[in-house]
Structure 1
């Protein structure tokens, strides 16, 4: 077995990632590291889809990491995730367990697979405000003003990415990014994918369940705790739309329709990012998420044994 194995299970929202990851963790004596950008926050359980009950398999409670580690109202970013991931990873490996990274935040997963240095560059709000009014042509021209070594990383595919490239180049003009030694991880990546209509159906059924289970009340509690509406918007779709509903901007039926459509669009963007990961050289072993969980578990274990990353016996 490789000294630094990592099983990764990714997929769009409502694809069944957690359920599969938990089953694999039980088989491999593993622990799960969440790669969800919102499940790090306490008191945000329903809206972020934590589904903590799923971490119980029979009499076995599967340990998890990077869930409920921050207070609501705080912020989290890719670089913080990387630091927390490696800390959790090292702890799991030292305990002779198998780490399983599970989630749908593709940017977080990609940052581990590619160990991108530039995630350490902080956001420059003042610079971004100045750049956001510029055209694509002007942004490209501005980027070209920086030394070549500072823009080798640049992604020119959108205004948003051009602005980030300029932000990084400006930072590199005045700072050095310290090199941090990380363990040489040998990952194997599994992806869960559904047909579009099944994804939509799963999302809408899950949304109805979450609304019935108190998602609106969860947002009310966050507002009562002093979390601002602006911060709720930052926390994503469920919190953004429910905050609008509670403010009287939309009615309950509009909330369900608009939020459901927005989550479906978000799932589409997640799958687009996973395709980008593949273009960047990440091999994803895709699985049909509609299959029974026992079938999916067997397929994962067979691929693990075939790749000889872990000592798996089928």
Structure 2
């Protein structure tokens, strides 16, 4: 399609097959992939974040393994790194593909999102993390909301970030990195719920067999504080608690499995929010779990 933006976005919930689809599309159009995943940036956090680097083959990829495990990374840093990667891909003459499940990161480069530049106040964040989610919601309601800011309150972490933004904006002018929103064509993967649930559970078992618990044990042995791994959530939170003896194996697996299902549901909720915010997503009919030929053809017809 002649007037289609050169940036392609492939998004979807965890375990939906985003990476494999992005790689297949990249092979067809001489593309390179930029990861939009808030945890794949960390080195040594491989199985828990689902990097699946063997899938890429010769396809170039960016924003994976760019930070040490134990570091912090936020949407402001992502925006900067995204634009650097995008420039590099364009200079190589390749077609950029943004692929991932962190809707906040994706939206931050597709629409003007200056609130992402609000700096992190570590002391405030540590204090807010001790509060229950209902207390955080009450606190957010008491704060004036900056113009055009729509707080995402779907998780405790996002509630804390919303409070930080509203607090900071009471005393500062909004910063801007000067980067304009990037035009893009978006494709979404949304397998049937029962398929997604089975895929999540099966993949968790495989990753445990592949060494997920050993991966987290090694991170702890390298000196990464348990509370930092817990902060990364999901696999790192529950494996850490299991290794510390806080959970037996059966409880660990059941709770983690449930939380990943909930996480996938929250991802879909955020993608729907993106649509309400004006981003058109072309939802693929079948959801590429095993056979992606239909989806690749559908994408190719548009791009």
TM-score over 0.5 for the pair: yes
State how far apart, in whole Å, the 1-side matches of 2:136 and 2:32 are: 47
Q: Is the 8 A contact 1:151 1:165 kept in 2?
A: no
Give the equivalent residue in structure 2 for 1:309.
none
Matched residues, number: 294
State how far apart, in whole Å, the 2-side matches of 1:238 and 1:187 are: 32
The counterpart of 2:188, out of the listed 188, 191, 194, is 191
Give the equivalent residue in structure 2 for 1:280.
277
Structure 1 position 289 matched with structure 2 position 287: yes
State how far apart, in whole Å, the 1-side matches of 2:234 and 2:299 are: 31
What are the equivalent positions in structure 2 for 1:66-81 lying under 5 Å apart?
A: 66-81=63-78
- Any idea what SS the aligned residue of 1:188 has? strand
Structure 1 position 83 matched with structure 2 position 84: no
Give the equivalent residue in structure 2 for 1:45.
46
Structure 1 position 18 matched with structure 2 position 16: no
Give the equivalent residue in structure 2 for 1:151.
146
Q: Is the 8 A contact 2:18 2:189 kept in 1?
A: yes
TM-score normalised to the size of structure 2?
Answer: 0.88
Give the equivalent residue in structure 2 for 1:301.
300
State how far apart, in whole Å, the 2-side matches of 1:181 and 1:142 are: 27
TM-score normalised to the size of structure 1?
Answer: 0.86
Distance 1:25 1:244, change over 3 A: same
- Any idea what SS the aligned residue of 2:7 has? strand
Q: Is the 8 A contact 2:36 2:105 kept in 1?
A: yes
State how far apart, in whole Å, the 2-side matches of 1:22 and 1:193 are: 18
The counterpart of 2:206, out of the listed 193, 204, 209, is 209
Cα distance, 1:79 vs. partner?
Answer: 0.5
> RMSD across aligned C-alpha pairs, in angstroms?
2.5
Q: Is the 8 A contact 1:82 1:111 kept in 2?
A: yes
Cα distance, 1:151 vs. partner?
Answer: 2.0
Distance 1:243 1:138, change over 3 A: closer
State how far apart, in whole Å, the 1-side matches of 2:136 and 2:293 are: 52
- Any idea what SS the aligned residue of 1:115 has? coil
**Bigger Rg, structure 1 or 2:** 1
More deviation, 260-269/287-296: 287-296
- Any idea what SS the aligned residue of 1:249 has? coil
Structure 1 unaligned segments of length 5 or more: list them.
144-149, 305-314
Structure 1 position 121 matched with structure 2 position 122: no
Structure 2 unaligned segments of length 5 or more: list them.
none
Cα distance, 1:130 vs. partner?
Answer: 7.3
Distance 1:178 1:258, change over 3 A: closer
Cα distance, 1:181 vs. partner?
Answer: 3.0
State how far apart, in whole Å, the 2-side matches of 1:48 and 1:84 are: 19
Q: Is the 8 A contact 2:140 2:162 kept in 1?
A: no
Distance 1:245 1:135, change over 3 A: closer
What are the equivalent positions in structure 2 for 1:167-186 lying under 5 Å apart?
A: 167-182=164-179, 185-186=182-183
Cα distance, 1:185 vs. partner?
Answer: 2.6
Cα distance, 1:257 vs. partner?
Answer: 1.6
Cα distance, 1:241 vs. partner?
Answer: 0.7
Distance 1:242 1:187, change over 3 A: same
Cα distance, 1:3 vs. partner?
Answer: 9.7
- Any idea what SS the aligned residue of 1:75 has? coil
Distance 1:127 1:296, change over 3 A: same
